[in-house]
Amino acid sequence: MTTYRGRIAPSPTGYLHIGHAITFWRAQERAEQNGGTLVLRIEDLDTARCRPEFRDAIIEDLRWFGLRWAEGPDIDGSFGPYVQSERRALYLAAWKKLRDAALIYPCSCSRQDVLQSAGAPHHENEEPVYPGTCRPPNGTVSDLDSPAGHHWRFRVPGGEALHFIDNRLGPQRAIAGVDFGDFIVWRKDDVPAYQLAVVVDDAAMQITEVARGADLLLSTFRQLLIYRALGLSVPEFFHTELITDSAGLRLAKRHASLSLRELRNAGANADQLRARYLSS
């Protein structure tokens, strides 16, 4: 029998927000209910947005909120390093594999180009479907030997229906090329994109269930394609509820007053916060 391994994966782009903390709490509950291990991984690949001081603050705030992990950058474990900026060699190996399989291609379109040439996105907060401007004929293997200097897009199998069973929401389905298009796996500024890094790490850290916010449901389908392309076994998924404020608006990082740090400085207590946000 496989032992449950879950993870929490904050990005140190600012102080931890109550919305993230609740998602991580759910991930901890899943690990506890399944008698498993919880791993902390710091997702700091976006060097322009991530700052080392936020990493330390996040660890401190997570502990204050009542989260406990068995492996992480502050504890270590057998699957380290637990900080993405120290795992580049793994992402590069995956990039090479995808390139050799003709499943990715370099793209010179700017975000603006894509926005202008494509129709409106189907889903809130989603990028529009890539119109295929730079997509070469099937089977074209790029002869570039380094990803730097271009965006690299994953060639999605247009029209294929993708499925998975979410452990909270039940059966989920999306159509590649319709619900989402060719997506970026490596950025022009030489940063591996979230979709690639998260799959490489969840597989390498032998995560058995990914528990994270339901805002990432559509990303899960992209990631299913990467698992398949890299020949990696797919974990289970549990997408958690999104926390909204009293007006029904989604809590997001921009509500600075809802950072754990500010709540704590204003005298909030972790038990009360959990009771308030978890019961609603």
Q: Which residues bind ligand GLU (CB under 6 A)?
A: 9-11, 43, 198, 212, 216
Closer residue to ligand GLU, CB minimum distance, 55 or 212: 212
Q: What minimum distance in Å lies between the beta carbon of 170 and ligand GLU? A: 20
Cβ–Cβ under 8 Å, residues 263 and 237: no
Q: What minimum distance in Å lies between the beta carbon of 205 and ligand GLU? A: 12
Q: What minimum distance in Å lies between the beta carbon of 10 and ligand GLU? A: 5
Closer residue to ligand GLU, CB minimum distance, 99 or 259: 259
Closer residue to ligand GLU, CB minimum distance, 57 or 107: 57
> 248-254: long-range contacts (C-beta < 8 A, 24 or more apart)?
250/19, 250/215, 251/17, 251/18, 251/19, 252/17, 252/19, 253/13, 253/14, 253/17, 253/19
Cα–Cα distance between 24 and 58 in angstroms, integer?
12
Q: What minimum distance in Å lies between the beta carbon of 46 and ligand GLU? A: 9
Q: What minimum distance in Å lies between the beta carbon of 145 and ligand GLU? A: 29
Closer residue to ligand GLU, CB minimum distance, 5 or 212: 212
Nearest to 189 by CA among 147, 226, 154, 153: 147
Nearest to 195 by CA among 206, 182, 184, 181: 184
Cβ–Cβ under 8 Å, residues 75 and 27: no
Q: Which helix (H) or strand (E) holds 204?
A: helix 194-204
- Residues with Cβ within 8 Å of 214's Cβ and at least 6 positions away in sequence, in order, are 169, 239, 240, 241, 242
Closer residue to ligand GLU, CB minimum distance, 103 or 198: 198
